[in-house]
Amino acid sequence: MKKLFFLAIFIFGISCSSPKFINDYSSLKSYDKSSITSKINLNNWHNLDPEIDSIPGTSVERAHNELLKGLKGKKVIVAVIDTGLDIDHKSLSNNIWINKNEKINGKDDDKNGYIDDINGWNYLGSAYNETRDMTRILRDKKINNRKYDLVEEEIKKEIKKSNEQLNILNYYIQILEESKELLSKYLNDDKFSVEDVNNIKNEGKKLIRAKNIYIDFDSYGYTKEYLNEGIEQYNDFINYHFNIDFNGRTTNDDIYDLNDTNYGDPNINNIKDSESHSTHVSGIISGDRENKSGNKGINNLVEIMALRAIPNGDEYDKDVARAIRYAVDNGAKVINGSFGKYFSSNPEWVIDAIRYASENNVLVIAAAGNESKDLDSLSNDNYPNDQFFNKDEFSDTFIKVGASSINLNENFTAYFSNYGKINVDIFAPGVDIYSSMPSNKYKSQSGTSMASPVVAGIASLIFSYFPKLSAKKVKEIILESGIDIDLKIENLGEKKHFKDYSKSGKLVNAYNALILASRSKKK
């Protein structure tokens, strides 16, 4: 400990004069993805630096190269409350939390109430598909009657919208396949490029229509695989999420009784490859930085505690509350929650759990949501949160994260990201984030679900090198050290300044955060 302390002071002690905060984006005002001409690896864009790489990332690579090189940090437990996790993934297997006080013997060796919980806990049992919380409200008649009519109308709208989207997606697949068939016959080749299609001249209306469809779909990323993913999603909406006759729970517990605790099992792995969310999130936080074929995680001094509590549908408040408490009680310093919903049967259970985390010096980081909503509007309740009706914040260790893009222009905030000057704390990269997928695969995905683990990874980095800082102080550091973005953002036909999209008005930055942490430590 003593050696680490002196090393940290030696490296960071000069930070009051040099290195300096990054806060100048003036050279990037017209930057967008299409302007890149260098050989920068865009799979790692969210970790890059605005000054060195001309990319609006979080300066993680710069922090490792300039501030942390040669230092020994401390391992930090980060709990990931999410879907099942592929703990055997080559990029993650060395960074999985192991409960050293437990043995696989059918006994609760550490007396924490969980048997054989070696890597975490599975609150879902064998279940995967689930309903939305609004569907449970109508199905189970457990909430105040005044909500029934509202919920029933909302479910009807969602089913109608899902059927409409299915019709559109099926039509898109049909015309894409017809276009590919025509182009393949004309080019006399089943495998052709966009460039080949672009070179086709005026060869009749049908062929030109096929050419235009193919090029347009390619520009939007509308592959057959992508469109089929959409079809699967909307079928899930109809068959599971908004189906009041469906109940996916398999654990035989009472979901409305927080004290009914004898359920779940230690099998925290994903049950199929499509259950990939936790693997992607965990890779952003701690993916092997030396793995040349994969992504670079933010901090390899992390032990991922896997808590399988998020199904394909809405999470249960009971599971989330118990997972937060499990994480706190078993040594996590950071909890990442890349999930959320707009109806909650028992929000008080999760509120109490977030309070419990705060009282025990644990940082909870949550995704803001992907519905382009202003969370400050009282009609847009979003769970979990640390606000009561836009006031009376009840936790000083909770961070809500919106998603930014690589384009430093009016589209800088992700088009899907929720926002709010009161209810969203900070923004982080969340568009086209490359990370691990089950079965040793990798893929780019977008969402505030990707932005939240970026902040969780940076928080863990601070704790690794400044382990005595409190969770409250780390939250303050993250919000204060972010970068100001002088941009007007396009939003529903209006332009609003980026600083008005979150409480801090900033983009998270690892380099700045470590410098500010060093100053806090010195004091």
Query: Rounded CA gap, 293 and 280, in Å?
Result: 15
Look at residue 463 in the predicted model and tell me its pLDDT. Answer: 98
Is 229 found in the same domain as 94? no
pLDDT of residue 6 exceeding 60, the answer is: no
Of the pLDDT bands very low, low, confident and very high (cuts 50, 70, 90), residue 5 is: very low
User: Do 400 and 268 have their domain in common?
Assistant: yes
Confidence of residue 2 (pLDDT cuts 50, 70, 90): very low
Flag whether pLDDT at 522 surpasses 70: no
- Within-domain flag for 221: yes
409 pLDDT band, cuts 50/70/90, is: confident
By the 8 A CB rule, do 101 and 110 touch? yes
d(CA 301, CA 42) in angstroms, rounded, equals 24
In this structure, is residue 143 part of a structural domain? no
Say whether both 272 and 391 belong to one domain.
yes
373 with 486, same domain? yes
User: Is pLDDT of 363 > 60?
Assistant: yes
Inter-residue long-range contacts of 137-143, CB under 8 Å, 24+ positions, other chains counted: 137/343, 137/345, 138/244, 139/244, 139/245, 139/247, 140/256, 142/256, 142/345, 143/345
Return the DSSP state at 427: E
> What distance in Å separates the CA atoms of residue 87 and residue 286, rounded to the nearest whole number?
12
Question: Taking residues 224-231, what's their average pLDDT?
Answer: 93
pLDDT digits (tens, 9 = 90+) for 501-514: 999 999 999 999 99
**Domain membership of residue 364 as a residue range:** 2-130+253-522
| Helix, coil or strand: residue 442 | strand
**452 pLDDT more than 50:** yes
33 CB contacts (<8 Å, ≥6 apart)?
42, 406, 407
Which one, of 399, 436, 429, 426, lies nearest residue 284 by Cα? Answer: 436
Using the 3D structure, point to which of 241, 266, 292 is the last residue of a domain: 241
**What pLDDT shows up at residue 395?**
95
- What letter represents residue 368's amino acid? A
Q: What is the CATH number of the domain that holds 459?
A: 3.40.50.200
Of 142-151, 222-231, 474-483, the least confident:
142-151
pLDDT reported for residue 34: 54
Residue 136 within a domain: no
pLDDT of residue 293: 84
Q: What is the pLDDT of residue 523?
A: 53
Q: Exposed, middle or buried, 313 (CB in 10 Å: 0-12/13-18/19+)?
A: buried
Q: What is the mean pLDDT of the chain?
A: 90
Q: What is the pLDDT of residue 390?
A: 66
Same domain, yes or no, for 451 and 360?
A: yes
- Tokens matching residue 15: 């930070």
Which one, of 342, 364, 339, lies nearest residue 448 by Cα? 339
For the ranges 36-45, 209-218, 414-423, 430-439, the lowest mean pLDDT is seen at: 36-45
Q: How far apart are CA 419 and CA 417, in angstroms?
A: 6
Tokens representing residue 512 in the block: 């700045």
Tell me: pLDDT of 93 over 80: yes
Of 195, 214, 241, at which residue does a domain stop? 241
Residue 298 included in any domain: yes
Contact yes or no for 220/169 (Cβ under 8 A) = no
Q: What is the pLDDT of residue 9?
A: 29
| Whether the predicted pLDDT of 33 surpasses 70 | no
Residue where a domain stops, chosen among 214, 241, 268: 241
Provide the domain count of the chain. Answer: 2
Predicted confidence (pLDDT) per residue in 7-23, tens digit: 232 333 333 334 566 66
Co-location of 271 and 411 in the same domain = yes
Does residue 25 contact residue 485 with C-beta atoms inside 8 Å? yes
Asked if the model's pLDDT at residue 36 lies above 60, the reply is: no
pLDDT of 24 higher than 70? no
Q: Are residues 285 and 418 in the same domain?
A: yes
Instruction: List the single range of 8-12, 69-73, 225-229, 235-239 with lowest mean pLDDT.
Output: 8-12
In a domain, 247, yes or no: no
Per cent of the chain over pLDDT 90 is 77
Q: Can you give the pLDDT at residue 20?
A: 63
Does 372 share its domain with 418? yes
pLDDT band at 440 (very low <50, low <70, confident <90, very high): very high
User: Is the CB of residue 394 less than 8 Å from the CB of residue 355?
Assistant: yes
Residue 248 lies in a domain: no
Instruction: Provide the pLDDT for residue 204.
Output: 86
Q: What is the pLDDT of residues 177-191, one digit of tens each?
A: 999 999 999 999 888
Helical axes 317-329 vs 347-359, angle rounded to 10°: 10
**Residue 141 within any structural domain of the chain:** no
The pLDDT tens digits for 233-274 are 999 999 999 999 999 999 999 999 999 999 999 999 999 999
Is 300 in the same domain as 226? no
Q: Note whether 323 and 351 are same-domain residues.
A: yes
To which residue do tokens 């970026």 refer?
454
What Å distances lie between residue 68 and 165, 196, 292, 301, 334, CA to CA?
Answer: 49, 48, 20, 12, 20
Task: Give CA–CA dist 214/195, Å, rounded.
Answer: 11
**pLDDT for res 29:** 44
* 3-state SS class at 337: strand
- In this prediction, residue 292 has a pLDDT band, given cuts at 50, 70 and 90, of confident
**What is the pLDDT at residue 1?**
38
Residue 140 is assigned to a structural domain of this protein: no
10 Å Cβ neighbour count for 475?
23
